[in-house]
Amino acid sequence: MEEKENLKINHVKKIFKINETQLEVLTDINLDIKAGEFISIVGASGCGKSTLARMIAGLEKPTAGDITIGEKKIEKPSVNVGMVFQESRLFPWLTVEKNVEFGIHENLTSKEKKELVQKHIELVGLKSFEKALPKQLSGGMQQRVSIARALINNPSVLILDEPFGALDALTRINMQNEVLKIWEQERTTMILITHDIDEAIFLSDRILIMGKNPGEIKKEIKVGMSRPRSRNSYGFTDIRKEIYQEFFENTDMDIEYYL
Ligand SMILES: Nc1ncnc2c1ncn2[C@@H]1O[C@H](COP(=O)(O)OP(=O)(O)O)[C@@H](O)[C@H]1O
Ligand SMILES: [Mg+2]
């Protein structure tokens, strides 16, 4: 397996111009993420989480500052960063294996492709669903396909932008266990954007809480507990309290969003 690389966000700012007005969405974001770290980002709707994610993925350029992976500055989308969205974004007319294969960017023989696809389908627990079409799968299974597709080029970083937001509570917990398993196996750096505080605590090494107008990182919480984590442990509930506290104390957060 290739070495995974560190991710560095240096003084990143993002201003959108809408007609004549300028909207400063993100102000001076600085972040060092070690290869293989699991980071979650939580924050009110509209605080710039997806914009930050899109910049890391090279889909959007910072107005100032830069983002690097290893020694390389991110200027455009690359195979080194995978992304999963809230909607699975699968091709409805392609089977599971064809959807996963679509992510491959290397020149491989058809035998190599087949093996790589099979390995990733098994990684996400979808063995025997290779020939199924997306509409024949549950929402959780569709997201597993998206994850397989996003990991197929062995990226250094996987960004998950509210990937389980549309799933029911039990499926979500299932998927959290699945992501944990995949992360432990692949050691990809994970950046998870989520509204689910427990999801962030269950999975992350660090949780970043963002504030709004303009978006910035307000607080960083380190989660030192060993995994798998029990959601009812004292350590877990203490961190949950600390995060809720942060939202209640800040009037610029949409707290009702979290209740
Ligand atoms: N392409 C764009 N052009 C103009 N404004 C945008 C664009 N993308 C996002 N925004 C604005 O930037 C702000 C942050 O959006 P977003 O990053 O999607 O927030 P979040 O993901 O935290 O909900 C919002 O006010 C949104 O309307
Ligand atoms: Mg968003």
252 pLDDT above the threshold of 60:
no
d(CA 77, CA 61): 11
For the chain, state the CA radius of gyration: 18
Amino acid (one-letter) located at 226: S
Tell me whether residue 172 is in a domain.
Answer: no
Average pLDDT over residues 30-41: 98
The answer for residues whose C-beta is within 8 angstroms of residue 168's C-beta and 6 or more apart is none
Q: Which atom of ligand 1 is nearest to the CA of 18?
A: 4
**Total domains in the fold of the chain:** 1
Tell me whether residue 218 is in a domain.
Answer: yes
d(CA 227, CA 202): 8
Q: Compute how many other C-beta atoms are within 10 angstroms of the C-beta atom of residue 214.
A: 17
Give residue 19 CA to ligand 2 midpoint distance, Å: 22
CA distance to 110, 152, 179, 228, per residue, from 161 (Å)? 31, 18, 13, 22
Tell me whether residue 72 is in a domain.
Answer: yes
Average pLDDT over residues 77-83: 95
Tell me whether residue 96 is in a domain.
Answer: no
d(CA 152, CA 103): 6
Nearest CA to ligand 1 atom 17: 48
28 pLDDT above the threshold of 50:
yes
What is residue 250's predicted lDDT score, i.e. its pLDDT?
64
What is residue 106's predicted lDDT score, i.e. its pLDDT?
85
Tell me whether residue 122 is in a domain.
Answer: no
Estimate the crossing angle of helix 169-186 against helix 139-151, to 10 degrees.
20
Residue 38 sits in a domain whose CATH number is 3.40.50.300
Give residue 8 CA to ligand 1 midpoint distance, Å: 22
What is residue 71's predicted lDDT score, i.e. its pLDDT?
92
Nearest CA to ligand 1 atom 1: 16
Ligand having the closest approach to the CA of 18: 1
Whether residue 228 is preceded by a cis peptide bond, meaning omega within 30 degrees of 0, is yes
Average pLDDT over residues 25-47: 96
259 pLDDT above the threshold of 50:
no
16 C-beta closer than 6 A to ligand 1: yes
Tell me whether residue 5 is in a domain.
Answer: yes
Length of the chain: 259
Q: What confidence category does residue 255 fall into, taking pLDDT thresholds of 50, 70 and 90?
A: very low
d(CA 252, CA 259): 16
Which pLDDT tens digit goes with each residue over 148-202?
999 999 999 999 999 999 999 999 999 999 999 999 999 999 999 999 999 999 9
Ligand having the closest approach to the CA of 52: 1
CB 164 within 8 A of CB 171: yes
Tell me whether residue 104 is in a domain.
Answer: no
Q: What percent of the chain has pLDDT over 70?
A: 95
25 C-beta closer than 6 A to ligand 1: yes
Which pLDDT tens digit goes with each residue over 48-68?
999 999 999 999 999 999 999
Burial group, residue 147, by CB count within 10 angstroms (0-12, 13-18, 19+):
buried
What is residue 258's predicted lDDT score, i.e. its pLDDT?
46
| Side-by-side strand order, sheet with 216-222 | 81-84, 157-161, 189-193, 38-43, 206-211, 216-222
Give residue 50 CA to ligand 2 midpoint distance, Å: 4
What is residue 257's predicted lDDT score, i.e. its pLDDT?
47
d(CA 10, CA 28): 8
Tell me whether residue 219 is in a domain.
Answer: yes
Give residue 48 CA to ligand 1 midpoint distance, Å: 6
Which pLDDT tens digit goes with each residue over 126-157?
999 999 999 999 999 999 999 999 999 999 99
49 C-beta closer than 6 A to ligand 1: yes
Q: What is the mean pLDDT of the chain?
A: 93
Range of the domain at 217: 1-80+196-259
Average pLDDT over residues 231-255: 83
Higher pLDDT, 53 or 2: 53
Which pLDDT tens digit goes with each residue over 93-105?
999 999 999 989 8
